[in-house]
């Protein structure tokens, strides 16, 4: 039995080439052992020499394959876990970019306004400073929420479409006259989708503040039976400003559209304005596309 157990161990832990050589050795050993035993029929000797190594080989091979399958499954699980961690880190990175870029743009614009009218219009300057304070506090709250996500214990809910009114109101005094129109049943949309649309609108408004300056902006979110359409349209700039590197804003918006199988269309209008349009299908799947 000791030699059979040893061969099973070899078959379970080594490749077939080594196992075949070991099986041949075991067959020779069993054949020799049977031949030296008196009155043992030759058929039994040969059966023992062939069947025992074969059975041990089969059992060992099954054990080896099961171990290999177990290792492969463990590796796949580790890969999926690592991929999920990477996706979550990218999602939080997009959140950080959207929050910081928008709020700092508002703070910068309000600070410039306060400095410009500090002597001529103290009331407007005080309003701008108050907006800076409120925006700073909101930034800290958003940062705490994102840090809480890293600890898996979120303290405050993520923004939803109903919070767009607050987002628009925060831009008061920035030079951009922003209007908001919401239509359709929006409250029952998935919270992640509402957050994605909120961030797209936030990034689009941030780009208006950074790249366009004083202008008229229309934000429209409309839900139909089959799709959710969001547009942010701004008029031509009233005052020419220096161009600014767009950074990763459009990349983040396109990524959000891709996640929800939607389309993101951005481009200039004939009158010199600019439009960002996000269309997300509802109740079905479509190809993931994005247009610049």
Question: Is residue 121 domain-resident?
Answer: no
CATH of the domain at 256: 3.30.565.10
Question: Is residue 146 domain-resident?
Answer: no
How many structural domains comprise the chain?
Answer: 2
Let me know whether 187 and 290 are in one domain: yes
Question: Is residue 93 domain-resident?
Answer: no
Question: Is residue 229 domain-resident?
Answer: yes
Question: Is residue 138 domain-resident?
Answer: no
- Of the three residues 56, 77, 98, the one that is the final residue of a domain is 77
Beta bridge partners of 267: 275
- Of the three residues 62, 77, 92, the one that is the final residue of a domain is 77
**Tens digit of pLDDT at every position of the chain (292 positions):** 554 555 456 556 656 656 665 666 655 665 556 555 556 555 555 556 555 656 655 666 667 677 777 878 887 877 776 776 677 667 667 777 776 777 777 777 778 777 878 888 888 888 888 878 777 877 777 777 666 655 544 556 778 999 999 889 888 766 778 999 999 999 999 988 998 999 899 889 888 887 787 889 999 999 999 999 999 999 987 655 544 444 446 777 888 888 889 999 999 999 888 999 999 999 753 333 334 4
Q: Which two tokens stand for residue 78?
A: 């580790």
Let me know whether 66 and 188 are in one domain: no
Residues of the domain holding 25? 2-77
Question: Is residue 105 domain-resident?
Answer: no
Spatial distance between the Cα atoms of 185 and 190, rounded to a whole number of angstroms: 12
- Of the three residues 23, 51, 77, the one that is the final residue of a domain is 77
Spatial distance between the Cα atoms of 181 and 218, rounded to a whole number of angstroms: 8
What's the start-to-end Cα distance of the chain, in Å?
73
The structure's pTM equals 0.52
Question: Is residue 110 domain-resident?
Answer: no
Let me know whether 73 and 168 are in one domain: no
Question: Is residue 147 domain-resident?
Answer: no
Let me know whether 270 and 172 are in one domain: yes
């Amino acid at each position: 039995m000791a030699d059979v157990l040893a061969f099973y161990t070899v078959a379970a832990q080594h490749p077939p080439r080594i196992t075949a050589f070991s099986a041949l050795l075991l067959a020779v050993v069993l054949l020799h052992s049977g031949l030296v035993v008196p009155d043992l029929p030759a058929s039994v000797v040969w059966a023992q020499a062939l069947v025992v190594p074969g059975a041990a080989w089969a059992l060992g091979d099954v054990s080896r394959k099961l171990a290999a399958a177990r290792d492969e499954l463990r590796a796949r699980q580790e890969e999926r876990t690592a991929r999920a961690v990477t996706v979550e880190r990218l999602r939080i990175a997009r959140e950080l970019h959207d929050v910081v870029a928008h709020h700092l743009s508002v703070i910068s614009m309000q600070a410039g306004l306060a400095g410009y009218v500090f002597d001529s219009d103290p009331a407007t300057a005080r309003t701008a400073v108050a907006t800076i304070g409120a925006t700073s506090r909101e930034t800290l709250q958003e940062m705490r929420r994102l840090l809480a996500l890293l600890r898996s214990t979120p303290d405050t809910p993520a923004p939803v479409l109903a919070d767009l009114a607050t987002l628009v109101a925060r831009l008061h005094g920035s030079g951009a006259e922003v209007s908001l129109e919401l239509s359709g049943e929006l409250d029952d949309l998935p919270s992640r989708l509402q957050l994605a649309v909120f961030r797209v609108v936030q990034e689009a408004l941030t780009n208006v503040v950074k790249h366009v300056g004083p202008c008229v902006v229309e934000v429209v979110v409309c839900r139909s039976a089959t799709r959710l359409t969001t547009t942010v349209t701004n008029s031509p700039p009233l005052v020419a400003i220096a161009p600014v590197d767009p950074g990763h804003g459009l990349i983040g918006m396109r990524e959000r559209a891709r996640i929800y199988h939607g389309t993101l269309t951005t481009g200039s209008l004939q009158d010199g304005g600019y439009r960002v349009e996000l269309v997300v299908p509802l109740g079905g799947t479509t190809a993931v596309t994005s247009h610049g």
